[in-house]
Chain A
Amino acid sequence: MSDATNVKDLLIRVCVGTGGLAAGSQEVIDEFGRQLGDRGIEAEIVKKCVNKTGCRGFCAKDVLVDIIIGGKSETYQLISTDKVGRIVEEHILKGEPVKEWLVGPEYHSFHDRQTKILLKQCGHIDPEDIQAYLAIGGYEGAKKALSGKPAAVIDEIKSSGLRGRGGAGFPTGLKWEICSKAEGHPKYIICNADEGDPGAFMDRSVIEGNPHSVIEGMIIAGYAIGASYGYVYIRAEYPLAIHRLKIAISDARSRGFLGKNISGSGFDFDIRIKEGAGAFICGEETALIASIEGKRGMPRAKPPFPAHKGLWGKPTVINNVETLANLPAIITNGGKWYASIGTEKSKGTKVFALTGRIKNTGLIEVPMGISLKEIIYDIGGGCEKNRKFKAVQTGGPSGGCIPASHIDMPVDYESLMGVGSMMGSGGMVVMDETTCMVDMSKFFLSFTQSESCGKCVPCRVGTKRMLEILTRITEGKGKEGDIELLLELGTNIKATSLCGLGMSAPNPVLSTVRFFREEYEAHIREGICPASVCKALRRYVVNVEMCKMCGKCFKACPSGAITWEKKKPASIDKGKCIKCGACYEACPFSAIT
């Protein structure tokens, strides 16, 4: 198996998304290069062989490596440089895959339960090579759209039932129609890639993994509404995504997909990148427009809506990355096809960033209407260390916590709103019994409080007061009536703020009070943090019956507060304990509470 012909058919794919790079994928690529070079395989072949691919979602098992010999593919997980030698020796040269390093059944269950439209190509094509995108039918959707009338494109999208993936779920086709009929010239299409929700990274991964799909989507949208220019407003915190987008835009331009008279259609369109400067509020449409105009990103009252008066006062459509990336497939396969996936009111698929205390963290794409249970257990594999699932936060700081009792609910726009949360951009942060819900809502509120632009008094001052109350509850200084005060403030802030940030900022607090009121009461009345998170209320003790006397807590303790000898249960000296939680984290048997 080690002759030259086999080596020529060799393809090595290494995940180089941000997750993969941090896990050392560049080093792994270099090591493959060295090892193959050492064994007399020409460096030129190596360069071609090692194909950089974007994120494939299953970040918990990075670095992921595909070895494809003569079309037969095997996938390895958790690969580091020291494992490369054996893979080259046994698999590439002798044709015997190293079985114990191959991905396990959880890799397949992680992928098998998903429906991939958007992420189909992420992790399989080279995002820095337009040829790879063209080879899988890239830009065919744009060509098809441009060969017909703009109104036909709008009708197709309307029939697909696609709704904005940025959070609120406004029907995309309708938004376009309003803008296409608005007076004013030129018109603009803006791609909102200011993914500010903490806990969300779908947009980054789509751009890193398949940047051309976003550009193609912008061409289709631009044509539909009659725009001449497009802007991608992207966070400066995403350098890799910006880098790949720049390459993709210049490649698309040189192939004639951007610029004058695209593909002979007479349609002129070009795209520019605007880097955000770090403000969560700029995800809001009118604030984003202000920011592109070089101003402080402060929202204004609507109407007039951006579809009538947007960027530089001209009609503008703002679509989220995911919305745009869906367009090529919808145009190519037809709106009916897309509408056949999902539920009655929520069509198609949705990408979620599954993170927090869950085994299989990563990026998933599922049909609308799938149950939370399927996402968390079948795809996510349940909570880390098999702890008890407690709640999941969807919609980032604007959404709410959904408790374990609602695990059978379907995931779609309306159902999520019904439990006081929202779809949001698609962050899903899983919490287990070690997460304190009061601390969690304090965390979200401190985020929205510091990101409030300060324009509206209820949001600027109200969130500050709410944060003060939450802080004092977590410090054990809560008072009777605090919960009621939080509810009153929250309701008023929601009712009287101008933009989505203020209108949704109290959601995490309101939803946790609704579902976990007893935790708030335990903090206030009994001075106990049930999850042992709030430092001032923590008391660590060893449960002697559960203790397996392994000594891991003893080694983890930074202040020497734990006494332990072999074959004897550990104990904690309260005087020396600094309540850091290191022992609690270290214990594999949940014996420290």
Chain B
Amino acid sequence: MTEKNEQILDKYDREKGSVISILQDVQEAYGYIPEDAVFWFSERLNIPASSFFGVTTFYAQFYLKPRGKNIITACCGTACHVKGSAGIINRVREELKIPAGETTSTDGKFTVETIACVGACSIAPVFIGNKKVFGKMTLEKASEMLKELDKG
């Protein structure tokens, strides 16, 4: 862990206002924000850990828990909503057997998240599976997407 952290620390070279940028890089490196990493940076930069946790919990992009192998992001923007994204999200969650209130399937294979708007409204409803954009989504296409992602 230390080596990865050192690299991130070097990149920002103690410049002011880099808490968010550091957390973005930590998440890129580990897939989530490990508690240990927060304390490590807190000590090095002499910034209270509470500032890091405050920022982490404020922004939707940060995760304090590990996420699934495949990440599905469902857009919940207005256009997607009008075109029925809610029903598709429910179906995807059912197919992956994700427990209510959770975002990650019990086998750790999939995480299904929602996002305010990806700004691709003209191809609504939009899903993003492992950074690939799937537009004009339907119930059938959602099942195909899951199969494609599962294969890797």
Contact = CB atoms under 8 A, between A and B. Distances in A.
Contacts of B120: 18-19, 22, 201
Q: How large is the interface on B (under 10, 10 to 19, 20 to 34, 35 or more residues)?
A: 35 or more
A23 B135 contact: yes
B135 A294 contact: no
B124 A355 contact: yes
A13 B149 CA distance: 30
Given A292-B17, A427-B78, A429-B78, A200 B123 contact: no
Contact of B82 (A200, A239, A357): A357
B61 interface: yes
A372 interface: no
Contact of B58 (A59, A296, A429): A296
Interface string A366-398: 000000000000000000000000000100110
A204 B126 CA distance: 16
Please give me the 4 A-B residue pairs with the lowest Cβ-Cβ distance, nearest first: A59-B122, A198-B77, A278-B60, A277-B59
Interface of B: 16-21, 23-24, 51, 54-55, 58-62, 76-84, 87, 115-124, 126, 131, 133-135, 139
Contacts of A199: 77-79, 117, 121
Contact of A279 (B58, B119, B124): B58
Interface in A132-183: none
Interface of A: 18-19, 21-23, 59-60, 62, 195-201, 204, 235-239, 274-280, 291-298, 312, 353, 355-357, 361-363, 393, 396-397, 427, 429, 431, 435, 440, 443-444, 447, 451, 453, 558, 580-582, 585
A112 to B, nearest CB: 19
B78 A238 contact: no
Given A293-B17, A435-B82, A22 B133 contact: yes
A294 B82 contact: no
Given A198-B76, A199-B77, A357-B83, 16 more contacts: A19-B135, A59-B123, A198-B117, A274-B20, A294-B16, A294-B19, A294-B55, A297-B59, A356-B78, A356-B79, A356-B121, A361-B121, A361-B122, A429-B79, A447-B76, A580-B87
Given A19-B135, A200-B117, A278 B59 contact: yes
Nearest to A454: B58
A197 B77 CA distance: 8
A355 B124 CA distance: 9
Given A580-B87, A585-B84, A279 B117 contact: no
Residue of B51, B78, B79, B131 with most chain A CB atoms under a 10 A cut-off: B78
Contacts of B87: 580-581
Given A296-B55, A357-B82, A447-B116, A201 B121 contact: yes
9 contacts: A18-B120, A198-B78, A199-B79, A199-B121, A278-B115, A295-B19, A295-B51, A429-B78, A431-B82
Given A296-B55, A296-B58, A353-B121, A22 B135 contact: yes
A341 B17 CA distance: 42
